[in-house]
Amino acid sequence: MSSALQAGLGLARQALLLGGIAIAVFLLIRIVPGDVVDSMALEGSLDDEAIAALRVELGLDAGALTQFRIWLSRALVGDFGNSMRFDRPAAELILAALPTTLGLAALALTAGLALGIGMATAAALWPRSALPTLVEGLNLWSIALPTFCVGLAAILVFSVWLGWLPVIGQWLSPVLILAVDIAGQVAKPLHEDLKETRTASHIRTARAKGLSPARIVLRHLLPNALTTVVALGGLILAGMIGGALTMEVLFGLPGLGTLAYQAISGRDYPVIQAVVLVFAAGVVVVNWLSDVAQRSLDPRLRR
């Protein structure tokens, strides 16, 4: 099977997955009791007549199938509807919040990959040092400690007790917390891959030629092991989505996570659906690009 055909089939599978996510999100948020009108009514700003009129205006009086058909036909052309609470297009709200989320993700991903790859490489260079144990500890940290727990601890220590950092609107803590989590996910599998590759025949040949350990790792081991990092790309992004959402809410950053939290709190269906689709589309695209990159880097996967 050609690489182009494999890539096309992979993209088709991801598109079907995205469609399934759209249907699931549409149905699940309507299973939860109450809607945006009920939320506004609880605030005491609407009487019964206004509630009935607003439901008709927002299309909430129609059946779920009719609502889904209308929403899907509009979403396919990029119209995600208007926010029921803010009375602004959902797409406009997302575009306003997206730079913050992308900036947070880019900084955390860059720092996390640099730290994880650096630690794995150093542990491979000096296998008898404490570095392999440090890699194991970092991996256990990323598995055992949810990012929101670390975020709350960071607020308590650095903002409340020490007073070093502001709680609202600061970037340093979220970036470091997410970066350490990413590094823990990357460092151990990359280190294991480097250890296995060190026994390969071409590595033994390089040693016989008198190449230094550092040169062997940097020129022979690391390029081959980077396929492991590429393979982890989709999982890392999926984990980062949840982490970024909680970090933005905890530290008051005006990104997609905060927007999603506000929309969920207010039962704002169009914004919830649009934000989830944006997150899901990001994961789908990254997974597809990860598959394509793996096939490009590893000829065995092209068969």
pLDDT, tens digit, for every residue of 170-224? 888 999 999 999 999 888 888 888 777 766 666 677 777 777 766 777 776 777 6
Domain borders along the chain are 97-302
- Rounded to two decimals, the pTM is 0.81
What are 72-100's pLDDT values in tens digits?
A: 788 878 788 888 778 889 999 999 999 99
Q: Nearest-5° angle of CA 237, CA 239, CA 244?
A: 85
Residue 165 · residue 158 · CB < 8 Å: yes
Percent over 70 (pLDDT), the chain: 85
Q: Which residues pair with 77 in a beta bridge?
A: none
How far apart CA 150 and CA 243 sit, in angstroms, is 10
> In whole angstroms, how far apart are CA 271 and each of 25, 29, 64?
12, 11, 17
Return the CATH number of 97-302, one of 3.20.20.80, 1.20.120.330, 1.10.3720.10, 3.40.50.300: 1.10.3720.10
